[in-house]
Amino acid sequence: MNLPILYSFRRCPYAMRARLALWQSGVTVELREVVLRAKPAELLTTSPKGTVPVLLLPNGQVIEQSLDIMLWALAQSDPHHWHPAPLVAEQLALISQHDLEFKPLLDRYKYPERHQELSASEHQKNAMYWLLENINHRLEQYTHLIDNQLRLSDSAIAPFIRQFAAVDQSWFQQQAPQALQVWLTQFTESELLAAVMGKYPAWQAGAATWYFGQHKSTL
């Protein structure tokens, strides 16, 4: 089978959102689970930056950014209308804002020892404030970030907020508004997330081939 090859790491939110879009698009790929402390030479040859996700297409094209992988997958097929033309500008703007603004706040909260200009609790509050200002107000109007349907933006952003909530679940449950908690719970308990979070053995050359997609199988 001449399929795209996806280098992934199960818990990475960037890789997670790429898998979400691939799954929803119906595209099947060969999945190569990467151990980040022992990256295979094939990954580094394909993408010297050495981060995941990376998608290698059968024609040799390499897609190195998670959002670009999502957009490629949905360009092949978008049966659930994740990225309809009228919403393209709004969705991409929101995802870009999240990636540029919230992701650094999340990193400071997760690794306060690396960012000692503020205390851990201050980093925590800064990240929550961003969510209140930029995410929660949307969820008070709609069930999802753009409207009342799961879209590209929900799946591109939710894996990072899931990570934020997991750092201190008790605090998040006490401090996060109901709308934000309901939306995140819908995502974390969804069949879709369960479908893309299956565990795969670390890939190495010569190992069994694993396929990822709605018609996945092993050889």
Residues 96 and 179 occupy one common structural domain: yes
Q: Are residues 182 and 124 in the same domain?
A: yes
97: domain range? 85-188
pLDDT, tens only, 145-155? 999 999 999 99
Asked if the structure places residue 98 within a domain, the reply is yes
The letter for the amino acid at 113 is: E
Q: What is the pLDDT of residues 129-180, one digit of tens each?
A: 999 999 999 999 999 999 999 999 999 999 999 999 999 999 999 999 999 9
Task: Identify whether 135 is part of a domain.
Answer: yes
Q: Sheet of 5-8: strands edge to edge?
A: 62-63, 54-56, 5-8, 29-33, 210-212
Single pTM value for the model? 0.95
Q: Is residue 20 part of a domain?
A: yes
What is the rounded distance in angstroms from the CA atom of residue 195 to the CA atom of residue 212? 10
Q: Are residues 165 and 202 in the same domain?
A: no
CB atoms near residue 10 (< 10 Å): 16
Q: Residue 53, preceding bond cis, omega within 30 degrees? A: yes
94 and 162 fall within a common domain: yes
Residue 219 lies in a domain: no
Looking at the structure, do residues 31 and 123 belong to the same domain, yes or no?
Answer: no
pLDDT digits (tens, 9 = 90+) for 39-77: 999 999 999 999 999 999 999 999 999 999 999 999 999
Does residue 103 sit within a domain? yes
Helix (H) or strand (E) holding 104: helix 103-110
Determine contact, residues 160/117, Cβ cutoff 8 Å. Answer: no
Q: How many domains does the chain have?
A: 2
96 shares its domain with 181: yes
CATH value at residue 70? 3.40.30.10
User: Helices 120-131 and 152-167 sit at what angle, rounded to 10 degrees?
Assistant: 150
Tens of pLDDT, residues 90-126: 999 999 999 999 999 999 999 988 888 999 999 999 9
Binned at pLDDT 50, 70 and 90, residue 214 comes out as: confident
Dihedral sign computed on CA atoms, order 126, 190, 25, 7: positive
65 lies in the same domain as 89: no
Examine the domain organization and report whether 12 and 72 are in the same domain: yes
Q: Are 91 and 138 in the same domain?
A: yes
**Residue 105 CA: distances (Å) to CA of 14, 43, 70, 101, 217:** 16, 29, 23, 7, 39
Distance (Å, whole) CA 121 – CA 116: 11
